[in-house]
Chains A and B, each alone.
Chain A
C-alpha cells in the first residue's frame, strides 16, 4: 500500500489551513460593493398574509431594497420542487403543494421567509427588518402527524386533501398477512422516531453576484453538491441558464444532508443581486438554522414481526406515518420510502415483508435527508423488534439475530434490495468479543449488588450506500442520475490535478482521493491536488451524500486514472522503444519490466505536452475524464453493542462501554474511516439520549437554540471501541462500501436496547432523557 497509498492512515492534507484559521468558508468571503440580506420570517405556523408595509423600512439608514414574496412570484422565479416522484398505492402521483421562495399569500411554518431587506451592513438590514410591518390572519395549525391525519384537520395545501402527500406500499401484503396468520409468535411495537435538527456547525450562507453586461451570476454557497444546485436553480427555478450561473461551494463546515438541498435563501440572494445591482450576502444565524434547515426523521410507526416455532422470522409488517413538514423539500419524498422501507429486511432472512408509508404535511419546517436518511429509521424498527422479540421469546438477543442472519450472497430481499456480500456473523462476533458479552451477566449482577441497573443492547445494522445506480433510481422515480464524474489532469511537469464532482465538507477527500493516485503511480500525495466545489472548474457532478464519495466518486477517478495510465504507458513505450505491454508503473516511474530502462512520470508528462515524439496519430496532452455509474448499491453492515448503567433514583443513563464492529469493505484511510464512525455514533447516540425537536400545539418551535435543543457534548459521550471485519464490495473495483452514515444508523437502537434491558421495560421513547427513563422505571 505504500506509506501514502490505499490503507494507510495518512494525516490529512487539508488540516493545516483549518488548524491555522485559514479555512475559507462562505461567510469569510467579501466582495467589492457587497450588501447584506436579512429575512423577515413568519412568527406564525399557519397564516394568511394580509399586507406587507415596507415603506418605513425603505427609509432606514443603509437600506438598498426591501423585496417581498409577491415580487419574486411576479418575476417568475420558480417554486421549490421535490425531485423524486412517488406513486401512491392507488396509482396517483404525490400531491405536491406550491412552495415559493418567499411566501406571497400563505405561510406554513414558523420561520418561512416573507420578505427580505438588503442593506449596506448586516446590522442595518436587521434594524430595517424590524420596521417591516406584516399583517397576518392566523389560521389553525397542524403541529404534528397525529394532528395532520385527524378527520377535519386544517388543510395545508389544496393539492393534498387530508394533508396526505402519498400513501405508498412495498412488498407482498397477502403473503405477509398469511405469514402472520400461521405464526407461532408475533411481536409488535409502536415506535416514534424523533425529529432532529442536523446542526452542522457552520450555518448556511450564500453570496450572490450578478454581472450585468455578461448576464452572469456567481453564487458562493454552503452546498454539498454545487452542480446539482446549479442544475436546479437553472432548470427549475428560472434564475439563469446553466452557462450563465457559476456555483462555488468552498470550505463547507459540515452538512450531514442538510446542505444537499437548494434553499429559498440562495434563490433570493441570486434574484436580489440582480434586482439591486450589487452582490448580496446572507449568513444564517443559529436560530435561522433551527427554523429553516431541513429537519430529519419524524416517523410514527407500528411494526410487527412474525416468528415460527423455531424462532425464525417469517414476516414483517410495518405501517409508518412520515412528517414531511410544511413543504416538500428536494429529496424529501424518497427518504421515508426508497431509503427506508427497502432496508426493512435488516441483516435477516425475512421471506415476507409488507410496508405502508403515509407521508403528511404539517405546519413545521420541511423534513428531508439527515445523516442516514431513512436507514436509521429502518434499522431502529428492525433492531428494536429483534430485541423485544428476544425478551418475549426468552432467548439471547445476539443468538436470535444470529439464527436469522442472511448467510448466502447475493441475497434478494422482498423489498427491492439485492445484498451483494456480507458476513454478519463476523461483525457480531467481533463486537461481542470486544465488549465481553459472555461476562455481562456477572457484571449486571455486580452492578445490581451496588444498587445500579445494568443493561446491554445489540444493534446489527445494514444500509444501502454508494448511491446509486442511475437506471435503478430512475425507475423508482428519481429526477436525477446518481453517477459521478472525474477528470485526471497530469500537468506538463508531472504534478496531478484530480477534478471530482464529489464535495468534501469534512470527509477528507483532499487526502483520501490523493491516496488512490499515490497507490497507482507511487508518487507522493504532495504532488496531487484535488479540485472540487466549483462548477466553473469541474464540468458536472452529483456531490457528496449517502456515503457515495468513495464507492462512486473515487471509482470515477480510478476509471479516469486507468485511461491516463494507458496513454502514459503508450508514450513511455514509444520513448523507451519497448512494447506497451512491458511497461510497469512503480514509484513514479514507467519501467520496462525486466530491464533497467525507465522514464519518470514528469518526463512522460513533458513528452505528452511537447508532443515532439509521440506515437503516430496520438493527440498531445495527458488528461482523461470518466463518468462512473455504479451497478448496485453497496451494503455496509455491522454490529454495535452498548452497555449502560442506569441510576434508578435519577433516571440518568451512563455509558459503561460502546463497541462498534463495521464492515465497510476496503478502507482507504482507516484513521478517517474511524473519524467518520465516531461522528456518526455521536449523532445516533444524540438521537437516542439527547436530541429531539419540540413544537407546541400552535406550531411554535420550542427547541430553536442550543439552549433548548440538546446537542451531544464531550461529556455526554464515551470513547468508542471500534473494529473492522472485511468483505470486499464486489460492485466496484476498489471494493469499498462507504462509512459516512453507519454510526448514525446503528447506534440509537443499541442505546435504547441497553437502557430498556437495564430498566426491565420497553416503554421508552427517544430521546431517553433522565426524566423519561425515571418515568419508565417508576411509572
Chain B
C-alpha cells in the first residue's frame, strides 16, 4: 500500500492504495468520481481519458502512483459551476452522445485535440485525432460535428477571457 497525493479537479486529495492500482480505479473507487469509465482492458477505447497536467491521458494506462504530485482533471471538473464547458455544450447541442458511456472520455480527448491544434480543425483531422476513442452508438457523425462546433465556441470563449 502507498499513500498517493495529487490534485484532482483543483482539490488536493490523498488516498491509500495498493501499488498496482490504476489511476482510473483511484478516481472511481477511492474518490467516487465515476464519470471516468472503463470500456476495455487494452487501452484501446478511451472511455477513461482524463487530463494530467493539461494533457489527455488514458487513465487505465497510468498507475495511481505515477500520477502523484500531478494535477488531474476529470469530466466532473470541466464545467464552471452550472456553466458547461463549451465541449460539453457542443456534444449536447449536436446530439454527440447516445448511451453516454464513451462520452466523458470523448469530451476529455476532444478538448485536448482542440488545444493541440489551436482550434484549427477540419473534419479529417478530427476523425484522425479521435482514433483512440471508440463509440458504438453514434457512428461518430455527430461527435465530429460537436468537436468542430466546440472548436469555434472555445475560440470565442478564449477571446472573451
Q: Which residues of A are at the interface with B, using a C-beta cutoff of 8 A?
A: 11-12, 14-25, 27-28, 123, 198-203, 251-254, 256, 285-287, 505-508, 671-672, 674-676, 678-683, 705-707, 711-715, 717, 719-720, 743
Contacts and interface: CB of A to CB of B under 8 A. Distances in A.
Contacts of A683: 136, 139
A644 to B, nearest CB: 17
Contacts of A17: 100
B18 A123 contact: yes
A706 B40 contact: yes
Given A21-B104, A705-B41, A705-B42, 6 more contacts: A18-B100, A20-B35, A251-B99, A676-B98, A714-B128, A743-B139
Interface of B: 18, 20, 28, 33-42, 44-45, 47, 74-76, 79, 84, 88, 91-93, 95, 97-104, 107, 123-124, 126-128, 130-131, 133-144
Given A11-B93, A21-B104, A506 B130 contact: no
B38 to A, nearest CB: 8
Nearest to A199: B136
A507 B36 CA distance: 21
B144 A719 contact: yes
Contact of B99 (A199, A252, A682, A717): A252
A294 to B, nearest CB: 15
A615 B86 CA distance: 53
A28 B101 CA distance: 12
User: Secondary structure at chain B's binding surface: helix, strand, loop or mixed?
Assistant: loop
Nearest to B108: A21
B98 A202 contact: no
5 contacts: A15-B100, A21-B76, A254-B98, A714-B133, A717-B127
B44, B93, B137: most-surrounded residue (chain A CB, <10 A): B137
Contact of B39 (A286, A676, A714, A720): A286
Contact of A20 (B37, B75, B102, B124): B75
Contact of A675 (B92, B128, B138): B138
A707 B134 CA distance: 12
Given A20-B84, A715-B127, A202 B92 contact: no
B40 A286 contact: yes
B28 to A, nearest CB: 8
Contacts of B33: 21
A719 B99 contact: no
Contacts of B79: 20
Given A201-B102, A287-B41, A706 B134 contact: yes
Contacts of A285: 38, 40-41
B100 A23 contact: yes
Contacts of B41: 285-287, 705
Given A202-B101, A505-B99, A705-B40, A21 B74 contact: yes
A671 B97 CA distance: 12
Contacts of A706: 40, 42, 44-45, 134
B84 A201 contact: no
A183 B40 CA distance: 53
**Ordered nearest first, which 5 A-B pairs have the shortest CB separation?**
A21-B35, A18-B100, A253-B101, A682-B139, A506-B99
Nearest to A254: B99
B45 to A, nearest CB: 6
Nearest to A669: B95
Contacts of A19: 75, 84, 88, 91-92, 97, 100, 103-104, 107
Nearest to A507: B98
B98 A16 contact: no
A16 B91 CA distance: 10
Nearest to B79: A20
A678 B141 contact: yes
Given A19-B103, A201-B45, A286-B41, A714 B130 contact: yes
B44 A672 contact: no
A19 to B, nearest CB: 4
B76 A679 contact: no
Of residues B74, B104, B143, which shows the largest number of chain A Cβ atoms within 10 Å of its Cβ?
B104
A11 B92 contact: yes
Given A22-B35, A705-B44, A16 B92 contact: yes
Q: Which of B74, B100, B124 has the most CB of A within 10 A?
A: B100
A682 to B, nearest CB: 3
B49 to A, nearest CB: 12
A507 B42 CA distance: 28
Given A21-B75, A705-B44, A672 B136 contact: no
Contacts of B76: 20-22
A586 B12 CA distance: 54
B101 A201 contact: yes
Contacts of A198: 136
A269 to B, nearest CB: 18
Nearest to B101: A253
Contact of A713 (B74, B100, B134): B134
Contacts of A24: 34
Contacts of B124: 715
Contacts of B123: 719
A18 B99 CA distance: 8
Contacts of A254: 98-99, 101, 136-137
Contacts of B40: 285-286, 705-706
B42 A286 contact: yes
A18 B136 contact: no
A200 B47 CA distance: 12
B100 A714 contact: no
Given A20-B88, A508-B98, A675-B98, A202 B34 contact: no
A506 B95 contact: no
* B40, B98, B131 pick with most chain A CB within 10 angstroms: B98
Contact of B97 (A18, A28, A286, A717): A18
Most buried by A among B36, B75, B133: B75
A21 B85 CA distance: 12
A720 B97 CA distance: 16
B84 A256 contact: no
A16 B82 CA distance: 10
A201 B136 CA distance: 6
A379 B28 CA distance: 43
B77 to A, nearest CB: 9
Contact of B143 (A505, A507, A714): A714
A561 to B, nearest CB: 26
Contact of A251 (B20, B100, B138, B144): B100
A557 to B, nearest CB: 21
A120 to B, nearest CB: 12
Contacts of B91: 15, 19
B99 A715 contact: no
B115 to A, nearest CB: 18
B47 A201 contact: yes
Contacts of B92: 11-12, 15-16, 19
B126 A714 contact: yes
Contacts of B36: 21
Contacts of B126: 714
Contacts of A671: 95
A279 B135 CA distance: 31
A715 B102 contact: no
B46 to A, nearest CB: 10
Contacts of B18: 123
A19 B93 CA distance: 11
Contact of A12 (B95, B137, B141): B95
Nearest to B93: A11
A712 B139 CA distance: 8
Contacts of A203: 38-39
Given A19-B88, A506-B100, A715 B136 contact: no
B142 to A, nearest CB: 6
Contacts of A711: 44, 134, 136
A674 B98 CA distance: 12
Contacts of A21: 33-36, 74-76, 104
A95 to B, nearest CB: 34
Among A256, A508, A675, the one with the most B-chain Cβ atoms within 10 Å of its Cβ is A675
Contact of A679 (B38, B98, B103, B104): B98
